[in-house]
Amino acid sequence: MRILHVVHQYPPEYIGGVELYTRTLAHAQAERGHQVTVFYRVQREGAGQTSRTEDGVQVWASWAGIANPTRRLLDTWQSSFIARAFDRVLDETRPDLVHIQHLMGLPASVAHALTRREVPYLITLHDYWWVCANAQLITNYSGQVCGGPSLWLNCARCALARAGADWLWPASPGLVPVFAWRSNLLRRVLRQARWLIAPAPFVKEWYTQHGIPAQKVQVVPHGVDAPVVPIPHRPSGGPIRFVYIGGLTWQKGLHVLVEAFSEIKGNAELVIAGDESFDPAYVAGLQAKSSPKVRFAGRLAREQVWETLAQADAVVIPSLWFETFSLLAHEAFAAGVPVIVSRHGALADAVRDSVDGLQISPGDVMAWRSALQQLVDEPQRLEQLRASVHPPMTLNEHVNRIEAVYNQL
C-alpha cells in the first residue's frame, strides 16, 4: 500500500506528541512492507523543498518562510508554494490513501487537492485545532479552559490576546467573520474525510457535540512501544516517588502539583522531567516554589523515560486542559505503575478511579495534596493500585487497527 502522512511538523526540527506518533507509525508501516511517505512544513527562511529517506520512509520537508502564529492562521486559507510543493509530492508518490495527522500552518487546499484527485484521506484528531485555533482549548486572555467557540467572539478575543492586543477586545466582533470562515473551511475538510480517528472516547464525544457525525469517528487508542525486556522496579523501602514526564507548561498543571506537594509530610519525593527551555519563566516559577523534595530531571531520552518509570511508585498528570490521550499514562501502565490524573478529558477515560489509579479534581490544590498524602501515609494502597494495572494497547496492535481502518477505504 502507498501511504502518505501529512503533518504540520516532524523530527528532528520538532519533537512533540503528534510528531513522534507520526514517525513511529510511519516507520512501523514501512517495516511491514508498505511504501510510506511523510510530508511536513519546516520553519525556514526563503522557500524550498527537500527529500530524505529514514529507515525506509521517504520524508519531504517544505518551507515558505518562518511563520508566526498569525501567519500560521492565515496560511490555512492559502500558501501557494506549500500547495505546489504538496502537488509535487502527490505526483511523485501517487498514494493509495493519505493520513492527515495535522494541518496547522498548512493550507486547507492540501485536502481539497486530494478530493480533486479522488485520493481518499482520513484524519486523526490529535487535539481540538479543527474547531479551536489555539488547538488546546486554552484562552490567551484568561488562561482558562474553554468549552469551544461561542459565536466565535471568544475566538476573536483569543487572537487579539495572542497578538498582544487584548486591550482591543471590544473590537472582537470585527474578527468574528474570519473565524466563522475558518470554521466552515475546516469543517469542509472534516466532511470530505472518509474517516476521523479519535484517540479516546472523550475526543469522539467532544467533536460529536461540536457538529461532527458520530458514525464518522472511530476510536483507536495509540499504541505503546514498550521495551521488550521489562526494566525491573526498584526495591521497596526508600521514599514514595511520584513522577511527572512531559511538557513543562501552564496547561499541564504543574504549579498545582508543586504547591500540593510542598506541604506533604513524610518520606516522599517528586521527580519532574521535561524540556525546561520551552517556557523558562514558568519553569523558574516552579523551581522557586519547590521544596527540597522536588527534583527537576530535565529532558529525558526514550530509554531514560522507561528507566524513570521503573523507579516510580506513581505517575502524576495534573493537566488543566482536556488531554486527548496522554501517552505518559499509558506508558506508566506498560511499566506497571499506577497513575494519578485530573478528572477530565481523555485522562478520565484512561484511568479507573481507585482501581489502577486515582482521579482528582483539576486545579484543586487541596484535593491533590490530600490524595498524595494518603498514598504516602498508606503505601499499601499503592500496591493495591499497582496490582490492578493492565497493559495498554501495544504499538503492533495499534498498527493493526490503523491498517484495518485503511482497508475500509
Inside any domain, residue 153: no
Exposure string for 157-195, b = 16+ CB within 10 A, e = fewer: bbbbbbeeebeeeeebeebeebbeebbebbeebbeebeb
CATH code, domain carrying 26: 3.40.50.2000
Secondary structure (H, E, C), 381-405: HHHHHHHCCCCCCEHHHHHHHHHHH
pTM as predicted: 0.92
For residue 84, what are the contacts with CB-CB under 8 A and spacing of at least 6?
none
Q: Is residue 313 part of a domain?
A: yes
The 2-7 sheet, strands edge to edge: 44-54, 57-65, 35-41, 2-7, 97-100, 121-124, 195-198, 217-219
pLDDT at 90 over 70: yes
Same domain, 70 and 219: yes
User: Same structural domain for residues 273 and 328?
Assistant: yes
Q: What is the 3-state secondary structure (H, E, C) of 201-246?
A: HHHHHHHHHCCCCHHHEEECCCCECCCCCCCCCCCCCCCEEEEEEC
Q: Tens of pLDDT along 290-315?
A: 999 999 999 998 889 999 999 999 99
Mean pLDDT across 26-39? 98
Residue 140 resides in a domain: no
CA quadruple 198, 201, 203, 205: dihedral sign: positive
Within-domain flag for 180: no
Question: pLDDT tens across 170-199, in order?
Answer: 878 888 999 999 999 999 999 999 999 999
Residue written as grid cell 466563522: 180
Judge if 117 and 244 occupy the same domain.
no
pLDDT in tens, 253-287: 999 999 999 999 999 999 999 999 889 999 999 99
Mean of pLDDT over the chain: 93
Residue numbers of the domain that contains 371: 240-387
Structural domain contains residue 106:
yes
Q: Mark whether 337 and 400 lie in a shared domain.
A: no
pLDDT at 231 over 70: no
Q: pLDDT value at position 406?
A: 97
Does residue 142 form part of some domain?
A: no
Lowest mean pLDDT among 57-71, 218-232, 244-258: 218-232
Alpha-carbon distances of 123 from 71, 75, 81, rounded to whole Å: 23, 19, 23
How many structural domains does the chain have? 2
Same structural domain for residues 109 and 216? yes
Strands 44-54 and 57-65, sheet pairing: antiparallel
* pLDDT category of residue 401 using cuts at 50, 70 and 90: very high
pLDDT at res. 235 = 67
Model pLDDT, residue 328: 94
